[in-house]
Amino acid sequence: MACARPALRYTGPARARREVAMTAAHATEQEIAWLSAEELAAAYRAGTLSPVTVTETLLTRIDRLNPTLNAFLHIDHDGALRAARAAQERLRRGERRGPLDGVPVTIKDLLDVQGLPTTSGSAVYRDVIAQSDSIVTERLKAAGCVILGKTNTPEFGLLPTTENELGPPCRNPWEPERTPGGSSGGAAAAAAAGLGPLHVGTDGGGSIRIPAAFCGVFGFKATYGRVARSGMSGMPLFSHTGPITRTVADAALMLDAIAGPDPRDPTSLPERPPRFLEALATPLGRPRAAFWPRPWAAPCDPEVAELVAAAAHRFADLGCEVVEAGPDTEDPRPTWLTIMLGDEYTVGEELLARHRDRLAPYTRATLEAGARLTVPEYSRALRALERFRAAMRRFFEEYDLLIMPATAVAAFPIGQRPDTIAGQKVDPLGGAFPYTAPFNLTGQPAAVLPCGFTGAGLPVAVQLVSRWGDEIGLLRACAAFEAAQPWRERRPALA
Q: How far is CA 90 from CA 36, 48, 144, 239, 281, in A?
A: 21, 16, 9, 35, 29
Distance CA 418, CA 209 (A): 19
The burial of 200, by beta-carbon neighbours within 10 Å (0-12 exposed, 13-18 middle, 19 or more buried), is given as buried
Among 36, 120, 134, 183, the active-site one is: 183
Instruction: Count Cα atoms within 13 angstroms, Cβ side, for 125.
Output: 22
**Residue 368, amino acid:** E
For residues 94-114, one letter each, b for 16 or more C-beta atoms within 10 angstroms of the residue's C-beta and e for the rest, the string is: eebbebbbbbbbbbbbbbbbb
On the CB side of 283, CA atoms within 13 Å amount to 10
CB-based contact 205:405 (threshold 8 Å):
no
Q: Which of 36, 50, 108, 268 is catalytic?
A: 108
- The rounded distance, in Å, linking the Cα atoms of 139 and 143 is 6
For the chain, the farthest-separated pair of C-alpha atoms sits apart, in whole angstroms, at 67
Compute the distance between CA of residue 192 and CA of residue 172 in angstroms, rounded to an integer. 8
CB 187 within 8 A of CB 201: yes
DSSP 21: -
Active site residue 108: yes
Could you tell me where the DSSP H helices lie in 96-163?
Answer: 135-142
Q: Residue 243 carries which side chain, given as an amino acid letter?
A: P
Q: How many alpha carbons fall within 13 Å on the CB side of residue 245?
A: 26
36 is catalytic: no
Q: Which of 122, 134, 207, 239 is catalytic?
A: 207
Residue 73 — φ and ψ, nearest 5°? Answer: -90, -25
Note if the bond before 233 is cis, omega within 30 degrees: no
Q: How many other CB atoms are there within 10 angstroms of residue 432's CB atom?
A: 29
DSSP 169: P
107 three-class SS: strand
Sheet (strand 288-291) strand order:
72-75, 146-151, 104-108, 198-203, 240-245, 218-221, 446-453, 459-466, 401-405, 288-291, 321-324
Question: Residues with catalytic annotation?
Answer: 108, 183, 207
